């Protein structure tokens, strides 16, 4: 089964038994960056100097990607030429990317949706595992590349670069100390595995994450 980078990231982030999300904020940034990187890899979008351009509106055949392509095309159309910033799109997309990706995983039968109410009032959705075959294969790929030194193919390298940029090493290897796996993540992320446009998509995601974390930290310190 072919799954997107965003779906792989969300699968790694969901507790298999309870379906509760882990590292939600960072996963949302990484998933938004992953969908943008997918559209670049599919030849639908170009990212250069921090700006986005839709270069091909032909559907990819993947509902999650095609929905994003349509939204992105509409959003770019509201901007003046050359003013569609990748950072602005990622900020906008981050708010809905987890929900959309979780629904797609439900449609594929990989997770199921369970609804709860916290304190009997606030609705919460969790997504426990229904079919673990895709996640198992994904973790085997990551183990082969990160721990065993196998050469990553393009999509695995992109996933590792997203995980590394979003500091999500523990989603991939929850039982290992970060310092044991981070050097290999960094090596792959810095390698010559993708074109400039994919690198730009991931770099913009990383920069927006850093800006939001810095702003949140400053606000917390000011109110302490």
Percent of the chain scored above 90 by pLDDT? 76
161-186 mean pLDDT: 95
On the question of pLDDT at 200 being above 90, the answer is no
Predicted pLDDT of residue 123: 83
On the question of pLDDT at 68 being above 80, the answer is yes
Predicted pLDDT of residue 223: 63
Identify the band that residue 206 occupies on the pLDDT scale cut at 50, 70 and 90. confident
Predicted pLDDT of residue 82: 86
On the question of pLDDT at 8 being above 80, the answer is yes
Lowest mean pLDDT among 21-30, 68-77, 150-159, 195-204: 195-204
Lowest mean pLDDT among 112-121, 131-140, 165-174: 112-121
Predicted pLDDT of residue 81: 85
pTM: 0.91
Identify the band that residue 207 occupies on the pLDDT scale cut at 50, 70 and 90. confident
On the question of pLDDT at 121 being above 90, the answer is no
59 Cβ partners below 8 Å, 6+ apart?
66, 69
């Amino acid at each position: 089964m072919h799954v997107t980078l965003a779906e792989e990231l969300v699968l790694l982030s969901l507790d298999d038994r309870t379906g509760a999300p882990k590292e939600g904020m960072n996963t949302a940034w990484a998933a938004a960056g992953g969908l943008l990187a997918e559209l670049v890899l599919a030849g639908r979008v170009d990212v250069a100097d921090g700006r986005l351009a839709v270069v091909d509106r032909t559907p990819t055949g993947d509902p999650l990607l095609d929905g994003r392509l349509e939204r992105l095309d509409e959003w770019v159309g509201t901007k003046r030429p050359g003013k569609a910033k990748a950072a602005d799109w990622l900020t906008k997309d981050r708010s809905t990317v987890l929900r959309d990706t979780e629904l797609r995983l439900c449609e594929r039968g990989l997770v199921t949706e369970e609804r709860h109410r916290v304190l009997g009032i606030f609705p919460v959705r969790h997504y426990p595992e229904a079919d673990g075959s895709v996640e198992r294969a994904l973790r085997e790929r990551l183990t082969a590349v990160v721990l065993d030194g196998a050469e990553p193919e393009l999509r695995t390298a992109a996933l590792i670069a997203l995980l590394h940029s979003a500091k999500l090493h523990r989603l991939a290897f929850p039982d290992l100390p970060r310092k044991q796996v981070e050097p290999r993540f960094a090596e792959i992320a810095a390698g010559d595995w993708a074109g400039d446009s994919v690198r730009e998509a991931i770099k913009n995601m990383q920069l927006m994450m850093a800006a939001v974390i810095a702003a949140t930290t400053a606000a917390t310190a000011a109110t302490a």
